[in-house]
Structure 1
Amino acid sequence: MRILYLDLDSLRPDHLGCYGYHRNTSPNIDSIAKEGVTFTNYYCSDAPCLPSRSALMSGRFGIHNGVVGHGGTTADMRRDGVNREFNDRLGMESLPAILRQAAMKTASISTFSERHSAWTFNAGFQEVFNVGGRGHETAEQVLPVALKWLEDNGKAENWFLHLNFWDPHTPYRTPDSYGNPFGNEPLPEWLTEEVFELHRNKKGQHSIEDMNALAKSQYNGHIRHNRPIEKHDDLRVIIDNYDAAVHYLDEHLGRVFSKLEQLGVMEDTAIIISADHGENLGELGIYSEHGTADEATCRIPMIIRWPGGMRGAMDHGLHYHLDLAPTLASMLNFKGAPSWDGESYADAILEEHSSGREYLVISQCAHVCQRSVRFREWLYIRTYHDGYHGFPKEMLFDLKHDPYEQHNLAEECKEICKEAVYLLNEWHDSMMGSMDCDIDPLWTVLKEGGPYHAKEYANSSIHIIYDE
């Protein structure tokens, strides 16, 4: 079996054509979706980058593997300690390690491990290719390495290639010569003049005001951030350039698919398209960042085109990205790892039968400390540290009628909030009862001074919200 896993950083599903976006950002991704299964309620368990990919490859929630932040103790994976065998658990039970035990060649083309000093991410990979950009490289720098690997290995049987592109990640680095493919197209309808005025007056981290300050400082060298956002149409600095990055990325994915066609293996190769997290583009008044445990940050695309699987299907069940490991194990008819927290959704790929979860708990501890519950049409967000955003302790959004999180219904819908808190406590009890230590890493983040990226935000007081 050949498996190509496309790990596309900061890619929102609702900015792809196959998820209904009004702009033609992703014709090559859309072509794969037509031949496979598109998952519409797919979430990273722990955001953003480092916690997300640590959960995916270890197969365990951040509360279990210990990685929930971008700095401090919780940026390092928990070790096995006195119970460590000759090989540690990660080296034997990570997703690529299990695939390797199933006689698959495993390779990763990514700068992720160096960017975050996340060397545990490489566990189980036989080959790791680092193009040297620490996450700032463009698709045109990654593509030659990917094409060379496929040229050398693509025709062989039994391989798993993790291929990582960063282009939609802030700062937007699509070459200036690429222009703006969407300059004549309307902005998303929900970003009205009224919404813009509300957001323009918002203070705090990741606000429009903060984005304008970043354009003069750390984004100063990036030409796509050289215009301040002062009026409604200036939102194109963010929306158009994000979409241009998606389109630029999609063109390079088309060349990867063309290489598979050229090698004669396209039809027999499983193609998985996903992301580590999404990107807030106005939700909660936040722009160009993935710093919350909300729909915009934690909902991610998942498209699986599997040889012999369903074609042109959509699955609306609730799934975590760490469910991928047991799913692949099931699809390949081998045993998974005992430490995995995921549940297989193989039947959704082979039989178009949804097997989603009743609810999900999604977490963020790098920019804020939040845990959220996604159930039915609801998203409940509980904030323990607001990360200079001014968030209340509780937020509740009706995603069916308010998908862009503009109306907090927590005060109006107390009974729904109580139901969400019950589910959150049920999940937390299960997590704490199934781990070999008694430390919740969210509280470690708080005790170490708060989320890593909140510490970087200058000249603001820290707001910590504790449960009574």
Structure 2
Amino acid sequence: RQQLVTWGLEDLSWREWSVFVSRYLGMVSQIDEAIGRVLAALNELGLADSTLVIYTTDHGDNCGSHRLIDKHYVMYEDVVHVPLVMRWPEVIAPGMVREEFVVHALDLAATVCEATGLPIPSDYQGRSLMPLLRGELPADWREDVVATYHGAQFGLYEQRMLRDRRFKYVWNPTDVDELYDLAADPWELRNLVGQPEYAKVLRSMRQRLLERLVAQGDGLVRTDWMQRQLSEGRKLGVNR
């Protein structure tokens, strides 16, 4: 609600929201045209088949979803689930779609390293996507991904998120946590925290998130006390 108050969004009508949405769609059209110019230039230079083209972005935008704009202190799919489109005719089969694997931005640097013959640093956390682009099925691929927010715009409001192919868990250390079944509720309108039938899923997601954060050296869980806050779900009301 703080974001609603900060941006003055609490009582906007659809007519007012339509201004945001129309500008967003206009930017989409502009980007689409610009990408077309890049691809056309590659064709003219005879480099299209041998060039790896990657289209992605660092984050999305709420653009009215959940009555919000911008991207801060939320972990909704509108913000964290971004496009990743790659073209490399000599390697990637046209029209191939890989939706069965969880990937993130850290994988891009590793992918470029392998594609160009450079070594991937041994301590790097990302993985090359080249096996996926070749149509392979790596048996040891990750099952989930972590995202972090450090409260840069609206005060020190930390968030951590764990997402797998079905569920998303958001740890809000100073507020109600969130759990969504993305298969049944893709728009994330029903928070399942506090629902008895999802208690086991919630415990599992909390433990998995804790393990990932500790392994990554996340400062938010550097003390035993904070680790217990996460693993035990120490919150008021519905989090119990």
Report whether the alignment pairs 1:374 with 2:167: no
CA distance in 2: counterparts of 1:419 and 1:467, whole angstroms: 15
Q: Deviations over 1:210-234 (max 9, x none)?
A: 4347xxxxxxxxxxxxxx9732343
Partner of 2:30: 248
Partner of 1:411: 194
User: Partner of 1:157 in structure 2?
Assistant: none
Question: 1:54-75 CA distances to partner (integer Å, 9 max, x unpaired)?
Answer: xxxxxxxxxxxxxxxxxxxxxx
Note the C-alpha offset of 1:314.
0.8
Determine if the alignment matches structure 1 residue 258 to structure 2 residue 40. yes
SS of corresponding position for 1:241: helix
In the superposition, the TM-score normalised over structure 2's length comes to 0.79
Match of 1:314 among 79, 94, 97: 97
Match of 1:364 in 2: 149
Residues 59 and 71 of structure 2 are in contact (CA less than 8 Å); yes or no, is this contact kept in structure 1? Answer: no
Match of residue 344 from structure 1: 128
Evaluate the alpha carbon distance shift between residue 285 and residue 379 of structure 1 in structure 2; reply closer, same or farther with a 3 A threshold: farther
Name the aligned partner's letter for residue 268 of structure 1.
S
SS of structure 2 residue aligned to 1:239: helix
Measured against aligned partners, the alpha-carbon deviations of 1:429-459 in whole angstroms (never above 9, x if no partner) come to 2223xxxxxx71688xxxxxxxxxxxxxxxx
Alpha-carbon contact 1:345-1:354 (below 8 Å) kept: no
Higher relative contact order (CA 8 A, sep 6+): 1
1:211 aligns to 2:7 (yes or no): yes
Higher strand proportion: 1
The DSSP-based 3-state class of the residue aligned with 1:403 is: coil
Match of 1:199 in 2: none
Q: In the TM superposition, what is the alpha-carbon distance from 1:395 to its structure 2 partner?
A: 0.6
Q: Deviations over 1:66-85 (max 9, x none)?
A: xxxxxxxxxxxxxxxxxxxx
CA contact (8 A) 1:272 1:303 kept: yes
Match of 1:286 in 2: 68
- Provide the C-alpha distance between the structure 2 equivalents of 1:268 and 1:467, rounded to a whole number of angstroms: 54
Q: Which whole-Å CA distance do the structure 2 matches of 1:331 and 1:364 have between them?
A: 31
Structure 1 residue 403 displacement after superposition: 1.6
Unaligned runs of 5+ in 1: 1-202, 214-227, 386-391, 433-438, 444-465
Q: Please say if residues 239 and 281 of structure 1, whose CA atoms lie closer than 8 Å, have aligned partners that are also in contact.
A: yes
Q: Distance in 1 between matches of 2:20 and 2:77?
A: 19
Distance 1:275 1:354 in 2: 25
Mapping for residues 77-116 of structure 1, pairs under 5 Å:
none
Q: Deviations over 1:403-437 (max 9, x none)?
A: 221111111122211010110111122223xxxxx
CA distance in 2, matches of 1:354, 1:282: 38
* Alignment check: 8 A CA contact 1:294 1:372 kept: no
Could you tell me how far apart the structure 2 residues matched to 1:283 and 1:352 are? 36
The 2-side partners of 1:260 and 1:376 are apart by: 35
Q: CA deviation at 1:383?
A: 0.6
SS in 2 for 1:336: coil
Which whole-Å CA distance do the structure 1 matches of 2:181 and 2:117 have between them? 39
Q: Are 1:305 and 2:87 an aligned pair?
A: yes
Q: Give distance in 2, aligned partners of 1:376 and 1:245.
A: 29
Q: CA deviation at 1:338?
A: 2.2
2:24/2:63 contact within 8 Å kept: no
Offset, 1:352: 5.0
CA shift for structure 1 position 239? 1.6
Structure 1 segment 17-416 matched on structure 2, within 5 A: 203-205=1-3, 207=4, 210-212=6-8, 230-306=12-88, 307-316=90-99, 317-353=101-137, 356-365=141-150, 366-367=152-153, 368-385=157-174, 392-412=175-195, 413-416=198-201
**Pairwise CA distance, 1:283:** 4.0
| d(CA) in 2 for partners of 1:297, 1:378 | 16
Q: Distance in 2 between matches of 1:314 and 1:329?
A: 22
Structure 2: distance between partners of 1:311 and 1:354? 20
1:467 Cα offset (Å): 5.4
Separation of aligned partners in 2, 1:344 and 1:264: 27
Give secondary structure in 2 for the equivalent of 1:313: coil
Give 2:216's aligned amino acid: M
Amino acid at match of 2:96: A
Contact residue 379 and residue 399 of structure 1 kept, 8 A: yes
* CA distance, structure 2, for counterparts of residue 350 and residue 204 of structure 1: 45
> How far off its partner does 1:353 sit?
3.2
